[in-house]
Amino acid sequence: QDQIYRSGTAGRRPPFTTDHSRLERAARDVMAPQAYGYIAGAAGSEATMRANRAAFDHHGLVPRVLRDVSERDLSIELFGSRLPTPLLLAPVGALGLAHPDGEIAAARAAEETGVPLVLSTVSSHSIEEVAAAAPRARRWFQLYWPNDTELTLSLLERAVANRYEVLVVTLDAFALAWRPRDLDRGYLPFHRLHGLANYLTDPAFRHLLPKPAETDPAGAVQRWSELFNDASRTWASIPFLREHWHGPLVLKGICHPGDARAAVDSGADAIVVSNHGGRQIDGGVAALDALEAVVAAVGDRTTVLFDSGIRTGADTVKALALGARAVLLGRPYVYGLALGGTKGVIHVLRGLLAELDLTLAMTGHRTPAALDPSVLVRT
Ligand code: FNR
């Protein structure tokens, strides 16, 4: 932040605001209304999304003084390697809606900052394009598990061949959610082929099409949506993935302690406590409240990651203090992307990380690993 203040003295203002609500409004002004509605919206009355934010206000950070926090290190250990910060870019589908360079721009920001990008299955740029555009970025792959074994294995092979290190399987989006902002516009990006790059380039998917996607795009969308939603899976399905993915396996979208126990028993290496940013269920428990219950159930048996509602460095410190090893950033980086491509994502990340570093210091800590619940008071 010192840099920002000093550039200001020299007459150079930051490219855009670092305050989340103003950031969201600025991004809205540069995006097509339907794209903005898809990104900003959530399920039903959007109560879960509001609860996600409100939960952070129910925990107060207690400042500490005189503890020599002059040397600080934001890095963390995860799956036997070090990440420079406890932050990841969450998988967000169809980033081409926010910026023409979509996931490529996000991956370049990942490359520059060392913050890993979790590439969504439903990305606007393919697994291969993203890897080629940002070869040094730390890349994870998020799987929406299609209802076809050959296609599933093909996606996993492509992720391995292009050096995606970690597989994140998202479990809470097995059905299309009730999202009024999109319903009112009759709009789902995927129905206009946005976000289907990984399907359209996959030989196993093409094999499943009655006619080539080029001549029958509507047929391709129809086939995609049949493969995409599968509400019949159970915990008994997970060992299949464990068998076919040899790197770290992460299960995303866990809120119930019982599901967290099942995830650990299924052989997953980590879980993400998340309610998909409030986009799946309305009237849901705040993700931060779910985090406390999940950590109490399995915190000593697995690595817990967190997302849904992280907007600031202080939010991040609260989630880490409650037992998350790292957090995934969602909408804020998408708005940065909309406003400034790679540079916009970097601006959002730098701001959040500077604030995280300061909050760590002002609560008397030098490293993320040193945080524990004693830094919080329930208000
Ligand atoms: C998402 N999210 C998501 N998750 C996932 O596993 N695969 C995906 O393709 C998507 N797509 C997606 C699109 C959009 C527009 C949003 C906003 C979110 C969920 C995402 O990974 C994360 O859980 C939430 O974004 C976290 O909530 P906040 O912090 O954005 O409120």
Which is it for strands 326-329 and 376-378: parallel, antiparallel or unpaired? Answer: unpaired
Q: Is the CB–ligand 1 distance for residue 312 below 6 Å?
A: no
Burial class (CB in 10 A: 0-12, 13-18, 19+), 80: exposed
276 is catalytic: yes
Query: Which tens digits make up the pLDDT trace of 34-47?
Result: 999 999 999 999 99
Quick one: which H or E segment has residue 202? none
Question: Given the CA of residue 274, which atom of ligand 1 is nearest to it?
Answer: 23
Query: Which tens digits make up the pLDDT trace of 112-149?
Result: 999 999 999 999 999 999 999 999 999 999 999 999 99
Confidence class for position 4, pLDDT limits 50, 70, 90: confident
Residue 318 marked as a ligand binder? no
From ligand 1's centre to the CA of 277, what distance in Å?
6
Query: Which tens digits make up the pLDDT trace of 298-337?
Result: 999 999 999 999 999 999 999 999 999 999 999 999 999 9
Q: Is the CB–ligand 1 distance for residue 309 below 6 Å?
A: yes
What local confidence, expressed as pLDDT, does residue 201 receive? 97
What would the mean pLDDT of 363-376 be, rounded to a whole number? Answer: 98
DSSP 8-state code for residue 300: T
AA identity, residue 255: C
Over the chain, what is the mean pLDDT? Answer: 97
Query: Which tens digits make up the pLDDT trace of 56-102?
Result: 999 999 999 999 999 999 999 999 999 999 999 999 999 999 999 99
Per DSSP, helices labelled H in 245-330 are 257-265, 287-298, 313-321
What local confidence, expressed as pLDDT, does residue 229 receive? 81
What local confidence, expressed as pLDDT, does residue 5 receive? 87
Residue 120 marked as a ligand binder? yes
Quick one: which H or E segment has residue 61? strand 59-61
Query: Which tens digits make up the pLDDT trace of 277-289?
Result: 999 999 999 999 9
Give the residue, by CA position, lying nearest to ligand 1 atom 22.
276
Give the CB-side neighbour count of residue 298, counting CA atoms within 13 A. Answer: 27
Kindly state the tokens that stand for 122: 């439903």
Query: Would you say the pTM of this structure is higher than 0.90?
Result: yes
Give the residue, by CA position, lying nearest to ligand 1 atom 1.
92
C-alpha to C-alpha distance for 349 and 248, rounded to whole angstroms: 25
What local confidence, expressed as pLDDT, does residue 76 receive? 98
* ipTM for the whole predicted complex goes beyond 0.90: yes
C-alpha to C-alpha distance for 293 and 104, rounded to whole angstroms: 36
Catalytic residue, candidates 59, 99, 125, 276? 276
Residue 53 marked as a ligand binder? no
Query: Which tens digits make up the pLDDT trace of 180-216?
Result: 999 999 999 999 999 999 999 999 999 999 999 999 9
